[in-house]
């Protein structure tokens, strides 16, 4: 099981676009998640967005750097940034992403 949640215990069903960057020496990196029209911003949702939680069998990765995008006053997207400050954090994130990608039939394109 690998899920992304914006409110603890409420899985997000919209699959994000994810962009990764990493320092050449592997010492740090970041992942930028972009969710277009996510469940968390739907009119039916009554849950408060408290961060982005990446939950899998190893535990939970959390970022509080979550921003909503509005167009003409209507919520349209969420952008979240997860920062990794060590090679160990990068490896843990990649393990999560591999599980998440496998469950959601995602691929990886290298630029």
**DSSP string computed for 15-38:** PPEEEEEE-TTSS-EEEEEEEES-
* pLDDT tens by residue, 47-68: 889 999 999 999 999 999 999 9
Range of the domain at 96: 3-104
CATH code for position 47: 2.40.30.220
Supply the pLDDT for residue 110: 64
In angstroms, what CA-CA distances link 77 with 15, 23, 54? 12, 28, 18
Supply the pLDDT for residue 27: 86
Which residue positions in the chain have pLDDT lower than 70? 108-111
Supply the pLDDT for residue 40: 92
Residue 111 lies in a domain: no
Residue 109 lies in a domain: no
Supply the pLDDT for residue 62: 97
In angstroms, what CA-CA distances link 14 with 27, 63, 91, 104, 106? 31, 18, 24, 10, 12
**Cα first-last separation, the chain:** 28
Residue 32 lies in a domain: yes
Beta strands in 1-111 (DSSP E): 3-7, 10-11, 17-22, 29-36, 52-56, 59-63, 66-71, 74-84
Supply the pLDDT for residue 56: 96
- To the question of pTM greater than 0.85 for the whole model, the response is yes
Number of domains in the chain: 1
Residue 38 lies in a domain: yes
Hey, is 75 helix, strand or coil?
strand
Residue 110 lies in a domain: no
């Amino acid at each position: 099981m690998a899920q992304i949640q914006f409110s603890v215990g409420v899985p997000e069903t919209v699959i994000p676009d994810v962009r990764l960057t990493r320092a050449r020496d592997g010492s740090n990196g970041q992942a930028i998640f972009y969710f277009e029209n996510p469940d968390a911003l739907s009119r039916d949702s009554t849950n408060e967005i408290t961060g982005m939680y990446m939950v899998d069998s190893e535990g939970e990765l959390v970022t509080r750097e979550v921003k909503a995008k509005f167009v003409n006053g209507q919520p349209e997207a969420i952008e979240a940034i997860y920062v990794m400050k060590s090679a160990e954090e990068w490896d843990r994130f990649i393990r999560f992403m591999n599980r998440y990608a496998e469950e959601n039939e995602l691929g990886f394109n290298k630029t």
